[in-house]
């Protein structure tokens, strides 16, 4: 049984590493290998979900570590494997043959493997390994086209931001080791005293960073620099999902502290609201989808905060299907039409229905239109939030309305009549789209009473409430009304994106608020001003200190040494040198003297030997018997 | 009384090889004379093997005249082990010489005498061993039949005769006052003997042994022979006979003289001090490498006398002497082998040696640095033990003087080493056998230094 627990993460990790090591030689075979591995992986994931393997081992002496597939992990591994397969199939159809395909598929597989390690880890140490490898792979994938310096800069920003959040997880691990004497995820909630608060704080920071919640959201905008399949995977089932997963997994810890739960809930709700505004303001399809990812993850985080683990997980799974679908559609259009601008995409869905119809399904699901998936899952979370606090519910409902609005905006943009650009996505690239669309539409059954009960059993939270009928009605009506209103406004021409926006000129109608939202709440400049700037200033100050004081001290010591040596050269050296010379001269004199007896004449030798022996006799006699 | 000839099997092997070689040399055609060298080498190798086996057995006394103990074991191994490369060296040089066979036989006989010198425990046997070790060496020194060689042989012989006669007189005197010639008898008898007679007799006895050891006042022949005799002979006579001589000197101090009968330690310490200082100082300005090496061997003899002086006073004296003498023999022979291989006697001939022949140059540097006493060579370990013995015997001044001499000796060794690293390389065609011997000896010198812990433990 334990073999399966090892094989699940090992298969993609090893296959990916092999592809990376073989370099461009493997470019031809890479798509086949990648999709093949992903297919086998999906089989393994399903098997693992059914058999629930677990393995325990000693990572460090005295510290138990392990990989285990429990209910939550089972859901996640199947989701991750399924989305990875869909994305890789799409990528196999879309990626040009002259690209570094071996590197791409290798990185994607390692990325997936790292996510699998993260979701099956039973302790913080193993989780950190997967977490870190995943971060590194996200860097490599966002900066995949490294020849473009702007993309590399984006990768830097994304990596540094998530990395800054990751420090929290290290703090959490350190505090767990100190406070609980165990790194096991299950033991964290039972830690005593202030350690528990510190662990929770570290986990929350790391999870908010990974999930691109406020105030870390801006890195997700930067992450759009990678290839579209990367976005599809990174925004749905891996990376950002890891943060939500961590919070859902450690919900007992958050609840135990008392304050962490409401903190997380409010962070999620506010992210859902504000990033909804940001999404609404975007004119670029991928940026809109990115902001909506933040917003939708806000609902999952909210769920973790208010104790709706089943709802949050259902939302995670459904959103994974929806968002990977939408990004794959966006990627397909980017590949065929060469644009991701909402104005430029006018009518794209109408002309290429193989992409347009799945996109419409995904967008409607994202809008929360009944009876599609996110409507149900979102309301499960909102119902739990309403029990916690009415303000939270109100903010969540407003965010839901916003998600309907921005979904409608994207939908209208691609289905509006007009626009001229034509193109048809590759056959292989559209294969996964209907499958994902069906999943996006139907995963709402997780909220139906007949399915919700077993679902909660699987996740180990049988007592959680389901969505109330009134809440479902309210949010469904609001969503439909919002979409209809948006369509009506679009007919009158006020809720559309102009075909061409003059470069650099902000939309006059948008005003200051829209510009603020368009720029992702100015979060990146703010982070620059608050963190990067002061850090760099401190670094410069320390460098000056190093140059002037530390290095100056060293140089002063050197100068003092030189001065001292000059002094000794003038005063002492001459005398010392004279003494050395005298010793040398004396030695040479003695040497000349030593050669004197060697006359070469035997009679002289005889005489000398006789005299010396006589002298020895005298010495011996005088010395006596000592 | 133990009269088992098997206890002297290594010596008998060498004797047999020498006799066989002599007989074969009479009948073999000139072109086939190399077989004599092969027989002699085989005899030496067999003797070495038997000696190594014998070294594992407990000590004993054979024929009431030979002690077989650690001192004898090391003497055998060192003498046979260094004579073997000399025979190899000579085989290359003497090929086709009219008296090729006699050369090897003479070397074997001198080596045999040297071992007997170190193993004897009777003054009469000691004198016989002295003669056996000396007379073949005189003949060897004049082997070249040239002017310098003849002069060297004559000086060597005259010095040996003079000091040998003194030695005989000393033996007579000690026999008279000690009522015996065996070491054990003398140890009992000399205690009650008149002090002045013991003093005169012992100094006279020392005269011959110091001649063989190349120490003051018996050192006069060393530079002249080293320069005049054929290089291979010079390498042999400045290296191998010393091993037996120092063993014999050590035995006299440790086994013959009873405590209180003779001022052994102060007297030998004085001789050691004078010898090392004179040897090192005189080596300073030498431009002839064989003369330089000759004075260096005089200096080394001074160091070797330090543990001899400590005989019976310090427990470290015996291991120090044995390790140093073996290490010195290997290293000194290695340096001479380089000289034989290069074939030049002037210091200028060694400029750029490392570039001309890296193997030969490296061997020279290893051997010379070894003679200085640089870690990790074998002589370094020997020197360390020697200092330890001097300090243990409360002769700190002697240790200090030896250290000062070591520092001074760096000067003339460096005069040889430094040019070897730089300068234009002269074309060089080293003799193959000599090259192999030089490299092998340098390697052994290094191995003995690095593996000193192992060797000392056994």
| d(CA B217, nearest CA chain A) in Å | 5
Alpha carbon distance B266, B248 (integer Å): 18
Report strand pairing: B66-68 vs B60-62.
antiparallel
Tokens of A466: 């389901």
Neighbours of B363 (CB within 10 A): 26
Residue A420's pLDDT is what? 67
Of the candidates A112, A106, A95, the one whose C-alpha atom is nearest the C-alpha of residue A428 is A95
Q: How close, in Å, is residue B437 to chain A by CA atoms?
A: 32
Q: Do A598 and B206 touch (CB under 8 A)?
A: no
Residues from A contacting B (CB-CB < 8 Å) are 587-588, 590-595, 597-598, 600, 602, 605-606, 608-609, 612-613, 616-617, 619-621, 623-626
Closest of A384, A619, A215, A260 to residue B202, by C-alpha: A619
pLDDT of res. A495: 67
A513 band by pLDDT with thresholds 50, 70 and 90: low
Place of tokens 């309907």: A404
Q: Are residues A609 and B220, on separate chains, in Cβ contact within 8 Å?
A: yes
* A85-91: average pLDDT: 89
The rounded mean pLDDT for chain A is: 85
Mean pLDDT of B246-256: 93
Total CB pairs under 8 A between chain A and B: 91
Name the DSSP letter for residue B63. Answer: T
C-beta atoms of B199 and A612 within 8 A: no
**Contact between B422 and B328 (Cβ < 8 Å):** no
**Phi, psi (rounded to 5 degrees) for A66:** -170, 165
Percent of chain A residues topping a pLDDT of 90 = 15
The per-residue pLDDT for range A293-338, each reduced to its tens digit, is: 999 999 999 988 888 888 889 889 999 999 999 988 888 888 888 8
HEC string of A55-122 equals EEEEEECCEEEEEECCHHHHHHHHHHHHHHHHHHHHHHHHCCCCCCHHHHHHHHHHHHHHHHHHHHEC
DSSP code for B6: G
What tokens were used for A377?
């899952």
Residues in chain B closer than 8 A to A617 (CB atoms): 199-200, 203
What is the pTM assigned to this prediction?
0.57
Nearest chain A residue to B404 by CA distance is A587
pLDDT at residue A500, as a whole number: 47
Q: Who's near A283: CB < 8 A, 6+ residues apart?
A: A341, A342, A343, A497, A501, A518
Task: Give the mutation candidate from A593, A602, A606, A611 for the B interface (greatest B CB count, under 10 A).
Answer: A602
Distance from the B274 Cα atom to the nearest Cα atom in chain A, whole angstroms:
10
- Given a cut of 60, is residue B231 above it in pLDDT? yes
pLDDT at residue B173 is higher than 80? yes
Judged against a pLDDT cut of 60, whether residue B73 lies above it is answered with yes
Question: Distance between CA B112 and CA B13 in Å, rounded?
Answer: 10
Local confidence band at A506 (pLDDT 50, 70, 90 cut-offs): very low
Inform me whether the C-beta atom of residue B223 falls under 8 Å from chain A C-beta atoms: yes
DSSP A123: B
Q: Is A87 within 8 Å of A129 (Cβ atoms)?
A: no
Task: Measure Cα distances from A187 to A59, A178, A250, A296, B395 in Å.
Answer: 17, 13, 10, 29, 73
Nearest CA to A135 out of A245, A34, A211, A200 is that of A211
As a whole number, mean pLDDT of residues A38-56 equals 90
Question: pLDDT tens for residues A428-450?
Answer: 788 888 888 888 888 888 877 77
* Residue in B322, B325, B405, B413 with CA at minimum distance from that of residue B367: B413
Residue A501, pLDDT above cutoff 50: no
As a whole number of angstroms, the distance between CA B90 and CA B97 comes to 11
Other beta carbons less than 10 A from residue A167's beta carbon: 13
pLDDT of residue A416: 81
Contact partners, residue B64, CB within 8 Å, separation at least 6? B1, B2, B121, B122, B182
Which band of pLDDT confidence, cut at 50, 70 and 90, is reported for residue A99? confident
Quickly list H helices, A431-510. 432-442, 449-459, 469-492
Q: By C-alpha distance, which of A365, A367, A329 is closest to A442? A: A365
Residues of chain A contacting B281 with CB distance shorter than 8 Å: 587, 590-591, 593-594
Structure tokens at A453: 């009960």
For B133-141, what is the mean pLDDT?
93
Mean pLDDT, to the nearest integer, of B84-103?
A: 85
Closest-CA distance, A104 to chain B, in angstroms, reads: 54
pLDDT at position B458 over 70: no
Query: Considering only alpha carbons, which residue of chain B is nearest residue A611?
Result: B217
User: B68 - beta bridge partners?
Assistant: B60
**Chain-chain contact of A626 with B207 (C-beta, under 8 angstroms):** no
Torsion, Cα of A272, A273, A275, A281 (10° steps) = 140
Q: How far apart are CA A334 and CA A341, in angstroms?
A: 9
Q: How far apart are CA A252 and CA A269, in angstroms?
A: 20
Query: Chain A partners of B214 at a C-beta cutoff of 8 Å?
Result: none
Nearest CB to B260: which of A609, A620, A625? A625
> Between chains, do B270 and A609 touch, taking CB under 8 Å as contact?
no
List CB contacts (< 8 A) between A625 and chain B.
Answer: 195, 260-263
Rounded Cα distance between B229 and B224, Å, is 8
Q: Provide the chain B residues 234-253 that lie in CB contact (below 8 A) with chain A.
A: none
Section A358-386 average pLDDT: 87
pLDDT band at A348 (very low <50, low <70, confident <90, very high): confident
Residue located via tokens 């965010």? A399
Please compute the mean of the pLDDT values over residues A404-421 and round it to a whole number: 83
What residue of A is the nearest CA neighbor of B190?
A625
Question: What is the reported pLDDT for A538?
Answer: 92
Chain B CB contacts of A589 below 8 Å: none
Closest CA to B446 of B327, B324, B325: B327
- Torsions phi, psi for B333 (to 5 deg): -65, -35
Chain B residues with CB-CB distance to A621 below 8 A: 195-196, 199-200
Quick check: B166 contacting A, CB < 8 Å?
yes
- Residue B261 touches chain A, beta carbons under 8 Å: yes
Neighbour-count burial for A118-148, b at 16+ CB within 10 Å, e otherwise: bbbbbbbbbbbbbbbbbbbbbbbbbbbeeee
CB of A190 closer than 8 Å to CB of A180: yes
Interface residue B203 vs chain A (CB under 8 A): yes
Phi, psi of A223 (to 5 degrees): -65, -10
Q: How confident is the model at residue A421 (pLDDT cuts 50, 70, 90)?
A: low
**C-alpha closest to that of B440 among B379, B367, B373, B372:** B367
- Give residues with Cβ within 8 angstroms of A155, minimum separation 6: A139, A140, A142, A143, A222, A225, A226
Instruction: Provide the pLDDT for residue A502.
Output: 41
A342 — pLDDT class (breaks 50, 70, 90): confident
* Cross-chain Cβ contact A619/B267 below 8 Å: yes
B155/A605 CB distance under 8 A: yes
Angle at A407 between CA A406 and CA A412, to 5 degrees: 100
Residue B122 pLDDT more than 50?
yes
User: Does the beta-carbon distance from A600 to B262 stay under 8 Å?
Assistant: no
On chain B, the residues whose CB falls within 8 A of the CB of A586 are none
What would the mean pLDDT of B409-433 be, rounded to a whole number? 84
pLDDT averaged over chain B?
A: 91
What are the Cα distances from residue B117, in Å, to B11, B187, B250, B310?
Answer: 12, 19, 11, 20
- Which among B207, B221, B284 has the least Cβ separation from residue A588? B284
- When mean pLDDT is compared across A486-490, B141-145, B426-430, the lowest value belongs to B426-430
pLDDT on residue A380 = 86
Residues of A in Cβ contact (< 8 Å) with B282: 591, 594-595, 598
Residue A511 has pLDDT above 60, yes or no: no
Q: Which residue has the tokens 């002589």?
A: B379
β-pair type (A54-60, B66-68): unpaired
CB atoms within 10 A of CB A506: 14
> Which of A587, A591, A608 faces B217 most closely, judged by CB atoms?
A608
Asked whether the beta carbons of A277 and A296 are under 8 A apart, the reply is no
Q: pLDDT band at A160, cuts 50/70/90?
A: confident
> What tokens were used for A486?
């948006």
Contacts of B218 in chain A (CB under 8 A): 609
Those residues whose C-beta lies under 8 Å from the C-beta of residue A302, and which sit 6 or more positions away, are: A264, A265, A268, A269, A272, A308, A312, A381, A385, A392, A396
| pLDDT score at A494 | 66
DSSP B425: P
How confident is the model over A529-565, as pLDDT tens digits?
A: 888 888 899 999 999 998 888 888 889 999 999 998 8
> From CA A99, how far away is CA B267, in angstroms rounded?
92
pLDDT of residue B222: 93
Cβ atoms of residues A432 and A440 within 8 Å: no
For the packed helices A71-94 and A101-120, what is the interaxial angle rounded to 10 degrees?
170
Rounded to whole angstroms, the Cα distance separating B234 from B333 reads 10
CB A21: neighbour CB atoms within 10 A?
A: 10
């Amino acid at each position: 049984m334990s073999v399966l627990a090892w094989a699940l993460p090992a298969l993609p990790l090893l296959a990916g590493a092999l592809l990376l090591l073989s370099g461009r030689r493997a470019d031809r075979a890479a798509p086949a290998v990648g999709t093949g591995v992903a297919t086998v992986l999906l089989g393994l994931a399903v098997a693992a979900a059914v058999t629930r393997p677990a393995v325990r081992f000693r990572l460090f002496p005295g510290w138990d570590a392990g990989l285990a597939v429990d209910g939550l992990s089972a859901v996640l591994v199947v989701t991750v494997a399924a989305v990875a397969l869909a994305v890789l199939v799409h990528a196999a159809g879309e990626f040009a043959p002259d690209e570094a395909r071996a590197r791409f598929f290798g990185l994607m597989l390692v990325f997936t493997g790292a996510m699998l390690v993260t979701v099956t880890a039973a302790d913080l140490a193993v989780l950190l390994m997967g977490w870190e490898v995943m971060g590194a792979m996200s860097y490599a994938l966002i900066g995949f086209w490294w020849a473009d310096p702007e993309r590399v800069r984006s990768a830097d920003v994304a990596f540094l931001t998530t990395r800054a959040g990751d420090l929290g997880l290290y703090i959490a691990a350190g505090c767990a080791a100190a406070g609980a004497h165990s790194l096991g995820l299950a033991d964290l909630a039972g830690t005593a005293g202030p350690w528990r608060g510190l662990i929770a704080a570290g986990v929350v920071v790391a999870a908010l960073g990974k999930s691109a919640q406020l105030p870390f959201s801006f890195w997700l905008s930067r992450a759009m620099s990678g290839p579209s399949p990367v976005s599809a995977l990174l925004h749905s089932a891996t990376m950002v999902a890891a943060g939500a997963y961590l919070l859902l997994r450690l919900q007992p810890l958050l609840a135990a502290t008392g304050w962490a739960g409401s903190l997380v809930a409010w962070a999620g709700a506010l992210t859902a609201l504000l990033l909804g505004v940001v999404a609404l303001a975007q004119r670029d399809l991928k940026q809109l989808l990115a902001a909506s990812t933040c917003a939708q993850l806000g609902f999952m985080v909210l769920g973790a905060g208010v104790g709706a683990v089943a709802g949050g997980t259902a939302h995670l799974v459904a959103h994974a299907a929806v968002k990977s679908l939408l990004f794959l559609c966006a990627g397909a259009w980017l590949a065929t039409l060469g644009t991701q601008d909402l104005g430029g995409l006018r009518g794209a869905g109408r002309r290429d229905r193989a992409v347009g119809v799945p996109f419409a399904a995904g967008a409607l699901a994202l809008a929360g239109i009944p009876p599609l998936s996110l409507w149900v899952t979102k309301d499960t979370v909102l119902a739990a939030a309403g029990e916690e606090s009415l303000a939270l519910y109100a903010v969540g409902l407003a965010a839901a309305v916003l998600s309907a609005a921005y979904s409608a905006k994207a939908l209208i943009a691609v289905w509006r009549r007009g626009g001229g650009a034509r193109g048809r996505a590759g056959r292989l690239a559209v294969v996964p789209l209907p499958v994902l669309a069906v999943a996006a539409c139907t995963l709402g059954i997780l909220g139906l009473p007949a399915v919700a009960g077993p679902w909660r059993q699987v996740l180990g939270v049988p007592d959680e409430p389901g969505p109330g009928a009134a809440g479902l009605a309210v949010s469904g009506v609001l969503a439909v009304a919002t979409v209809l209103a948006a369509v009506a406004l679009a007919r009158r021409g006020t809720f559309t994106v102009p075909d061409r926006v003059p470069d650099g000129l902000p939309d006059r109608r948008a005003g200051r608020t829209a510009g603020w939202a368009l720029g992702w709440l100015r979060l990146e400049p703010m982070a620059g001003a608050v963190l990067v700037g002061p850090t760099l200033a401190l670094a410069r100050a320390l460098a000056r200190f190093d140059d002037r004081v530390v290095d100056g001290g060293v140089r002063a010591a050197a100068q003092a040494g030189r001065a001292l040596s000059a002094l000794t050269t003038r005063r002492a050296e001459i005398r010392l040198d004279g003494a050395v010379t005298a010793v040398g001269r004396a030695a040479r004199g003695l040497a000349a003297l030593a050669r004197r007896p060697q006359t070469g004449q035997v009679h002289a030798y005889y005489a000398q030997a006789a005299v010396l022996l006589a002298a020895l006799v005298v010495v011996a006699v005088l010395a006596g018997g000592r | 009384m133990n009269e088992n000839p098997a206890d002297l099997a290594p010596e008998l092997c060498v004797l047999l090889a020498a006799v066989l070689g002599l007989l074969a040399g009479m009948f073999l055609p000139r072109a086939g004379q190399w077989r004599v060298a092969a027989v002699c080498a085989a005899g030496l190798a067999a003797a070495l093997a038997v000696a190594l086996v014998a070294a594992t057995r407990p000590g004993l006394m054979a024929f009431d005249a030979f002690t077989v103990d650690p001192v004898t074991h090391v003497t055998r191994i060192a003498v046979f082990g260094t004579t073997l490369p000399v025979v190899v060296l000579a085989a290359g040089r003497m090929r086709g010489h009219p008296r090729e066979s006699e050369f090897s036989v003479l070397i074997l006989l001198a080596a045999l005498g040297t071992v007997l010198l170190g193993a004897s425990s009777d003054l009469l046997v000691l004198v016989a061993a002295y003669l056996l070790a000396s007379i073949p060496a005189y003949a060897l020194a004049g082997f070249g039949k040239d002017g310098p060689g003849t002069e060297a042989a004559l000086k060597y012989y005259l010095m040996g005769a003079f000091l040998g006669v003194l030695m005989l007189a000393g033996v007579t005197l000690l026999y008279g006052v000690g009522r015996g010639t065996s070491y054990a008898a003398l140890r009992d008898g000399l205690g009650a003997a008149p002090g002045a007679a013991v003093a005169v007799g012992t100094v006279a006895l020392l005269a011959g042994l110091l001649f063989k050891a190349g120490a003051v006042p018996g050192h006069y022949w060393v530079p002249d022979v080293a320069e005049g005799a054929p290089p291979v002979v010079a390498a042999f006579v400045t290296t191998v006979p010393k091993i037996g001589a120092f063993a014999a000197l050590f035995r006299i101090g440790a086994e013959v003289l009873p405590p209180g009968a003779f001022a052994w330690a102060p007297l030998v310490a004085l001789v050691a001090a004078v010898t090392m200082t004179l040897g090192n100082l005189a080596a300073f300005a030498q431009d002839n490498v064989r003369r330089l090496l000759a004075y260096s061997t005089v200096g080394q003899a001074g160091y070797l006398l330090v543990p001899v002086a400590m005989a019976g006073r310090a427990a470290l004296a015996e291991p120090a002497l044995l390790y140093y003498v073996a290490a010195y023999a290997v290293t000194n022979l290695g340096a001479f082998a380089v000289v034989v291989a290069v074939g030049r006697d002037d210091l200028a001939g060694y400029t750029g040696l490392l570039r001309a022949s890296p193997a030969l140059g490296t061997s020279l540097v290893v051997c010379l640095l070894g003679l200085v006493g640089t870690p990790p060579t074998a002589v370094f370990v020997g020197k360390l033990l020697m200092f330890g013995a001097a300090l243990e015997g409360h002769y700190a001044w002697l240790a200090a003087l030896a250290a000062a001499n070591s520092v001074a000796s760096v000067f003339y060794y460096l005069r040889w080493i430094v040019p070897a690293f730089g300068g234009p390389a002269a074309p060089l065609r080293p003799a193959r056998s000599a090259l192999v011997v030089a490299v092998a000896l340098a390697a052994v010198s290094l191995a003995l230094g690095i593996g000193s812990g192992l060797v000392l433990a056994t």
